[in-house]
Amino acid sequence: MAKTTDPVALNNWYVVAALSNLAAGQTHRTRLLGQDISLRTGADGSPNCAEIEAGQPVREVEHIAVRYDFVWVCLGRPTQDIIDIPEIGDSGRRYIQRGRIGVATSGPRIIENFFDLSHFSFVHTGTLGGLNVTEVPPYAVDVRENGELWATECRFFQPKASSASDEGAEIAYQYRVPRPFIALIYKTSPSRPTDNDIIGLFIQPRDETDCIVHSFGLMWNWKNSDAEMLHFFHEVFAQDRSVLIHQLPKKLPLMPRREIPTHSDALSIAYRRWLDKSGLQFGVDREFAKSA
Ligand SMILES: [Fe+2]
């Protein structure tokens, strides 16, 4: 497909690379919103981005920035700033970039799966959930004054909440969805139960049903090596990925009538309404909803 014409999608910022993965003088080709792009770092280390047609750069991308050691691009006119994550840069937590993983589905499907509490026991058995405790206690959902969607007061018993866990624990969760293709989790830190670890997903939608997931962890974890932390994350995300690539329709239906929601879906329902209200067309299925 060609570059989307959806202004809501175009006017958002997206992570397209980790800055440290861009070798000086090398060109990194990737794709965003149906548009091939190339990234290249200049002599001063700052990246440039161009849209590519027939293998040739045809237009310099005006809106490019580096934040949190990720490279962000907006192919339209940004209507909002890149999200603020004040905890990055705080002393204490360890910041780790977790690489990029391709997933052949829409961005909204990936975000929805990320905050779905009810799949823990069945998809992440033994780590994020156990088959003996599958019920999701009620939680609160709200849209904040700044437009962000939040779920709070989520709790779940997890046998192994992170690579730093020594034993199972009741984990408190908050979910923050500041943009349609970005979500963050704040969850009780197993090694510092009075505080939380933060995990963020930045979705780079290559096309409507093909994405790259960039992510980071901000953890009270100084005992595991990077490799151990990445191994835990990859084990969990490989389980999510195997579910995600089989979900149909791949574009997220905004007003599903085929599925019967339960209270554990409160955030999912709110997310679909929030996307509907935003006017987003890219990666969502509005026709399916009508025909369902
Ligand atoms: Fe999951």
Residue-wise pLDDT for 56-90, tens only, equals: 999 999 999 999 999 999 999 999 999 999 999 87
Closest CA to 163 of 96, 106, 107, 99: 96
Q: Distance from the CA of 209 to the center of ligand 1, in angstroms?
A: 19
Share of the chain above pLDDT 90, in %: 72
Q: Distance from the CA of 128 to the center of ligand 1, in angstroms?
A: 8
Whole-prediction pTM: 0.94
Residue 228: per-residue pLDDT: 94
Average pLDDT value over all residues in the chain: 92
12 contacts 180 by C-beta, under 8 angstroms? yes
Burial per residue of 254-277, b for 16 or more beta-carbon CB atoms within 10 angstroms, e otherwise? bebeeeeeeebbbbbbbbbebbee
Cα angle: 197, vertex 71, 232; to 5 degrees: 35
User: At residue 289, does pLDDT exceed 70?
Assistant: no
Residue 133: per-residue pLDDT: 76
Where do runs of H (alpha helix) occur along the chain? 7-10, 107-114, 120-123, 226-244, 266-278, 286-291
Separation of alpha carbons 30 and 129, rounded Å:
35
Q: Distance from the CA of 140 to the center of ligand 1, in angstroms?
A: 20
Separation of alpha carbons 43 and 258, rounded Å:
54
Kindly indicate the confidence band of residue 130, based on its pLDDT and cuts at 50, 70 and 90.
Answer: confident
Q: What is the pLDDT of residues 172-229, one digit of tens each?
A: 999 999 999 999 999 999 889 899 999 999 999 999 999 999 999 999 998 999 999 9
Domains present along the chain, CATH in parentheses: 7-74 (2.20.25.680), 94-288 (3.90.380.10)
Q: Distance from the CA of 144 to the center of ligand 1, in angstroms?
A: 25
Q: Distance from the CA of 192 to the center of ligand 1, in angstroms?
A: 23
Q: Distance from the CA of 263 to the center of ligand 1, in angstroms?
A: 18
What tokens were used for 53? 């047609």
Q: What is the pLDDT of residues 225-271, one digit of tens each?
A: 999 999 999 999 999 999 999 999 999 998 756 556 666 688 999 99
